[in-house]
Amino acid sequence: MADRHELEVEIVAEDHFVWSGPAQSVSARTIDGEIGILPGHTPMLAVLGDGDVVVQQAGGQTITAHAEGGFFSVDNDRVVIVAGAASLNGTAAGQGAA
C-alpha cells in the first residue's frame, strides 16, 4: 500500500467500454452489503447487487455509475467493474466520458 496511492478503475458494460481512470476510492453495493475499496485492498471478486457504484476521483469529483447485475474485481490496485448495463450519471460524467 505504501508505494501506490491510487486505484486504477475500469468500468465496462456488455457491449461497450464505459469509463476508465484513476481514483481514490470506490464504493459499491454487493449482494451482501456495501463495500468500500481503498488502495491496497486485497484481491477480491464480488458480485454486485442492485445499486450505484461511486468512484471518488483524485480531484474530489465523483462518478456514479449504475451497474446492474454485474461484478467487480480488485487486483493489485486495479479495479474492474463489469456491469450488465452500466451508465454514467455523476457530477463529472462529462469529463469522465471524454
Contacts with another protein by CB under 8 A lie at 10, 12-17, 30-32, 35, 42-47, 71, 73, 75-76, 80, 82, 84
Q: How far is the CB of 2 from another protein (least distance, A)?
A: 18
Scan for cell 486495479, then name that residue: 78
Between 30 and 61, CB nearer to another protein: 30
Backbone angles phi, psi at 5, to 5 degrees: -120, 10
Can you tell me the distance from the alpha carbon of 51 to that of 43, in angstroms, rounded to the nearest whole number? 22
Between 10 and 59, CB nearer to another protein: 10
Q: How far is the CB of 76 from another protein (least distance, A)?
A: 7
Q: How far is the CB of 13 from another protein (least distance, A)?
A: 7
Between 85 and 91, CB nearer to another protein: 85
- SS3 string of 43-82? CEEEEECCEEEEEECCCCCEEEEEEECCEEEEECCEEEEE
